[in-house]
């Protein structure tokens, strides 16, 4: 079925990297399989260019991996950016929160269970997403069982891992629907330092949803419940609350949000390294639901989210960082989760005995539910 090249000439799109609004038809189109050379199409500012927006498919564009380019920051958009819904999922946290390990486990579980639980028929890594994911995240953790080295501070704007979720064709008259999920990973330094966040991680301010990872090893009351061998030698002075405050401040400035108004962007406050929390929760009468293995079926259960939200919120208020709970009230849509990307802490050499992720898909599924991508029972 041919793709209609005509689009609403008055609809602007937003660059997920820098927040610039633009008309897709006016963008410069480049071939990304070669470097240098002339663009396939120069930037145009006419009304006709806004109306007639050729899809980047067919031999003219596909063989050269043609991409539209942001008129402001130069970011390349996915090939189907202007013809599908795009959702930026910002993975945010401090230096030691385990963002890279979480991305490894979350995307791996999305690939394994996504077709069943989200109802889509295909999950496709766009451009170099699969190669980047395998080399940077999957292979170090799931094959080598090694810790991923800390993400280095950026010297240029980050490139996301983009996954297209294709849904079954509803009829012969309409093509299959799809959505793009854009996952960003930044170094902790590029998040906790305000100037670097604005320069290299500005996507956070324009994210569709946030998964905020809180490191339990920065929470003194949790650390003292751990066996001596698992306690860090030095407790990091910067708390998760401080990092979240920087994110909130950036959001309010970028969108001119009054301090009295709540931020509408959904945020999943996620305690990482939940395998350590069994030592904290042993005082409770029964094992919390968030420490039990997840069972993914054909639909997500919103009651499970509510149960986990209540348990983790209670745990933070009693044992962890109660100020994190108070600070998160700046968001209108907030829920609490606990995950373990590996299932076990590493040994002295940085190697994991086995890899058994726990509940890593929960925060993403909740975000997708709040964004209206999937439904809950």
Confidence of residue 377 (pLDDT cuts 50, 70, 90): confident
DSSP 342: S
Question: What does the pLDDT read at residue 6?
Answer: 94
Task: Look up residue 199 and give its two tokens.
Answer: 């320069």
User: Region 315-340: what's the mean pLDDT?
Assistant: 94
187: Cβ contacts below 8 Å, ≥ 6 apart: 95, 150, 151, 152, 153, 154
Is residue 171 predicted with pLDDT exceeding 60?
no
Distance CA 183, CA 205 (A): 14
Assess contact for 274 and 97: CB atoms under 8 A. Answer: no
Query: pLDDT, tens digit, for every residue of 350-359?
Result: 899 999 999 9
CATH H-level superfamily of 85-370 = P-loop containing nucleotide triphosphate hydrolases (3.40.50.300)
Confidence of residue 103 (pLDDT cuts 50, 70, 90): very high
Question: What does the pLDDT read at residue 169?
Answer: 64
Question: What does the pLDDT read at residue 286?
Answer: 83
Residue ranges of alpha helices (H) inside 55-168 are 59-62, 99-118, 129-133
Q: Domain spans of the chain?
A: 13-80, 85-370
In terms of pTM, does the model score above 0.85?
yes
Per the listing, tokens 């991923």 go with 148
Per the listing, tokens 């401090």 go with 94
Q: Phi and psi (nearest 5°) for 80?
A: -105, 20
Is residue 144 predicted with pLDDT exceeding 60?
yes
Query: pLDDT, tens digit, for every residue of 254-313?
Result: 889 999 999 999 999 999 999 999 998 887 778 899 999 888 877 788 999 999 999 999
Residue 349 class from Cβ within 10 Å (0-12 exposed, 13-18 middle, 19+ buried)? exposed
């Amino acid at each position: 079925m041919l793709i209609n090249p005509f689009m609403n000439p008055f609809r602007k799109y937003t660059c997920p990297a820098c927040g610039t609004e633009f008309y897709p038809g006016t963008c410069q189109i480049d071939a990304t399989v070669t470097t240098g050379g002339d663009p396939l199409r120069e930037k145009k500012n006419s009304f006709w260019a806004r109306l007639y927006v050729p899809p980047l498919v067919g031999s003219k564009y596909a063989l050269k991996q043609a991409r539209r380019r942001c008129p402001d920051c130069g970011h390349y958009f996915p090939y189907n950016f202007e013809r599908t819904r795009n959702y930026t999922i910002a993975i945010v946290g401090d230096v030691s929160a385990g963002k890279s390990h979480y991305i490894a486990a979350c995307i791996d579980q999305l690939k394994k269970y996504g077709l069943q639980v989200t109802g889509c028929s295909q999950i496709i890594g766009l451009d170099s997403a699969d190669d980047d994911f395998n080399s940077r995240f999957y292979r170090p953790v799931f094959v080598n069982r090694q810790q991923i080295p800390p993400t280095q501070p950026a010297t240029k704007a980050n490139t996301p891992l983009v996954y297209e979720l294709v849904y079954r064709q509803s009829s012969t008259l309409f093509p299959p629907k799809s959505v793009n999920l854009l996952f960003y990973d930044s170094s902790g330094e590029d998040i906790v330092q305000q100037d670097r966040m604005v320069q290299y991680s500005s996507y956070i301010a324009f994210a569709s949803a946030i998964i905020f990872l809180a490191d339990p090893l920065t929470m003194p009351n949790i650390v003292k419940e751990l066996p001596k061998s698992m306690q860090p030698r030095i407790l990091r002075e910067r708390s998760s609350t401080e990092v979240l405050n920087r994110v909130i401040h950036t959001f309010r400035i970028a969108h001119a949000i009054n301090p009295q108004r709540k931020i509408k962007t959904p945020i999943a406050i996620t305690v990482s390294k939940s395998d350590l929390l069994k030592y904290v929760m042993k005082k409770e009468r029964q094992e919390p639901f968030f420490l039990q293995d997840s069972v993914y079926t054909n639909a997500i259960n919103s009651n499970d989210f509510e149960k986990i939200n209540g348990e983790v919120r209670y745990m933070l208020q009693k044992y962890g960082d109660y100020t994190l709970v108070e600070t998160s009230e700046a968001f209108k849509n907030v829920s609490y989760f606990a995950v373990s990307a590996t299932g076990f802490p590493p040994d002295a050499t940085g190697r994991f005995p086995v890899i058994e992720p726990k509940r890593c898909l929960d925060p993403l599924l909740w975000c997708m539910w709040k964004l209206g991508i999937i439904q809950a029972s």
